[in-house]
Amino acid sequence: TVYRIVAADGTGATELAASLTEQLGPTARTEILDTGVDDMAPLFNVLRLVALVLLVTAGVNLLSTLLTSNREAAGRVGVQLAIGFAPRQIITQGAVAGAVLGLVATIVGVPLGLWIFRALADIVSTSLGVGPGWMPAPAALPVTVVAVGAIVVAAVLGAFAVTRIA
């Protein structure tokens, strides 16, 4: 029978092995598997760079889509300006449209991203021999900051895309 024991922070590996051998007897075989996150720092750096590239690509794609949409709607904007809309109202309308796109993307993307993270993290940790559930999910605060940031950036891009036309 094989058991996995997770030691508390600050517990020395050799002390834990000696304590287990003392409690279980000399016939028990103990093996220390150090799964410190410090060794994975290069991997996390690469993952952060990939996330940054995806973020920039998504921003450029969103801006391109909003610029194209606003160019096609230039006639509508002209009519709105002719009937008394202020340029500021048109820009606000563009910001709201961008924010709605950001909100929809967040509603779909955050749960999907967390699910994909859990699936990939479980595959990696299982292949390392520490079993599924080893890597904790991102905390709620960073996820919330990213979600709100995505909505704000989408709103800013929406406003920027319509500014020239307004």
Cβ proximity of 137 and 116 under 8 Å: no
DSSP-derived 3-state class of residue 144: helix
Residue 27 phi, psi dihedral angles, 5° rounding: -80, -15
DSSP-derived 3-state class of residue 56: helix
Cβ proximity of 90 and 166 under 8 Å: yes
Each residue of 2-55: pLDDT tens digit? 777 777 777 787 788 888 888 888 787 777 766 666 677 787 788 889 989 988
Average pLDDT, the chain: 84
Residue 115 CA to residue 7 CA, distance in Å, equals 27
pLDDT of res. 55: 86
For residue 81 the two structure tokens come to: 């300006």
55: left (phi over 0), alpha (psi -120 to 50) or beta: alpha
Rounded to whole angstroms, what are the CA distances from 135 to 14, 34, 129? 24, 14, 13
What does R_g of the chain's alpha carbons equal in angstroms? 26
Residue 67 CA to residue 70 CA, distance in Å, equals 5
Is pTM, for the whole model, over 0.75?
A: no
Query: How many Å separate Cα 11 from the centre of its chain?
Result: 32
Each residue of 65-116: pLDDT tens digit? 888 887 887 888 888 888 998 889 989 998 998 899 899 999 999 999 999 9
